[in-house]
Amino acid sequence: MTELGTRSGSQILRTFLPQQTADLKGGIYRVTEWSSPVPIQVDRDVIVRRLLREIYAWSRSDTDSGYAADLRAGATLEVVELDDDRGVKVESFPQVWLCRNCRRVGRDRAKTCRCGERRWGQLHFVGFHTCGAVTEPWIKRCPQHDDVKLVSPKSTQAKDIRFVCPVCNLDLMRGLGFVPCKGCGKGNITWNVHKARSVYIPRGMVLVNPPRPDRMKDLLASGGSRRALNWIIEGMKARSLGAMSAKQTRAAFVQEMLAKGIDSDVVEGMATMMSAKQQFAADDETDELDKLPESMRQEAEGEAVDIAMALAEARTTVTDLTEVSAIL
């Protein structure tokens, strides 16, 4: 295995993601994989919720290749970080070889070009589609001489380049053609230089202190996402969720117990018994949050969990900051 160079972790996160192309030592390469990435234990539900939000535009227009449906169906999701010792693996891409001397297109860079030189570069155009497919160009060769060369204008647009036979000057191709996408079968491939932003746009999301499973257990033990939302609505006056004095509603209690995996019949029995002993928040065992549409309430609770997790390890609480500002 040949080492082509080193990059910092931040550079790899921006320009060496799987399927992304990059220039290395005078050649064009595509990242095939991160070698032995290190799994990070993060609460899956929080990641899924944020991913669904980020890909909403694509899932709504049915251009997400079914990813949103897979996430909702419980597809395996793994969060990883780079193994600094093993790095990433790359391959030459596109494997369309261009003689640096005569501009002929060759099939094998290990062989000598018909002009007598063996100095191969690469055609720097690649094809891509909205479904995520990336492909290399197919170049037509002269049927009589089995030869072809690139006539490159000053323009960098794929539609302006020409391919001709270097023997008989027969015009073979203008541009790179209208090629249907083999990945999804919906529309044609678009051609551009491999480093164009439109070819591969890395997308990311930001999670402040993404909760690990042990932190989520602590949150559930303190009342779950509903209690986190109540904590936010009350102005985060308590130093933590566990320090809140208010009682839970019946709905919040049921939700919390079900989230812990307790059987629904058992949960209902516990809720009925606690209701009889007036252990819930209001006489009607409900609060204003129960009146919200389900989707809106879940979104609000998710945001509240993010805030609660972000502040879980804070040395200075919001209450402390409020008191300081009041003194000043």
Domain boundary pick from 137, 160, 193: 193
My answer on whether 184 and 321 are in the same domain is no
Q: What distance lies between CA 121 and its chain's CA centroid? A: 32
My answer on whether 221 and 256 are in the same domain is yes
Q: With beta carbons less than 8 A apart as the criterion, state whether 172 and 164 touch.
A: yes
- Is the pTM higher than 0.75? The answer reads no
Which residue segment(s) compose the domain that 246 sits in?
Answer: 213-327
My answer on whether 227 and 111 are in the same domain is no
CA 232 to CA 228: how far, in whole Å?
6
My answer on whether 155 and 16 are in the same domain is yes
My answer on whether 40 and 81 are in the same domain is yes
Q: pLDDT tens track of the chain, all 328 residues?
A: 678 888 888 888 888 888 899 888 889 999 999 988 888 887 787 788 888 888 888 899 888 888 999 999 989 888 888 888 888 999 999 999 999 999 999 999 999 999 999 999 999 999 998 888 899 999 999 999 999 999 987 777 888 899 999 999 999 999 998 999 988 888 899 999 998 888 887 777 777 666 666 666 666 666 677 778 877 777 777 666 665 555 666 776 777 778 777 888 888 888 888 878 777 765 444 466 767 787 788 888 878 877 777 776 665 666 666 665 555 5
CA 159 to CA 193: how far, in whole Å?
12
- What pLDDT does 270 receive? 86
Q: What distance lies between CA 190 and its chain's CA centroid? A: 22
CA 241 to CA 238: how far, in whole Å?
7
CA 292 to CA 81: how far, in whole Å?
38
What is the DSSP-derived secondary structure letter of residue 65? T
HSE toward the beta carbon, residue 228, CA cutoff 13 A: 25
My answer on whether 35 and 120 are in the same domain is yes
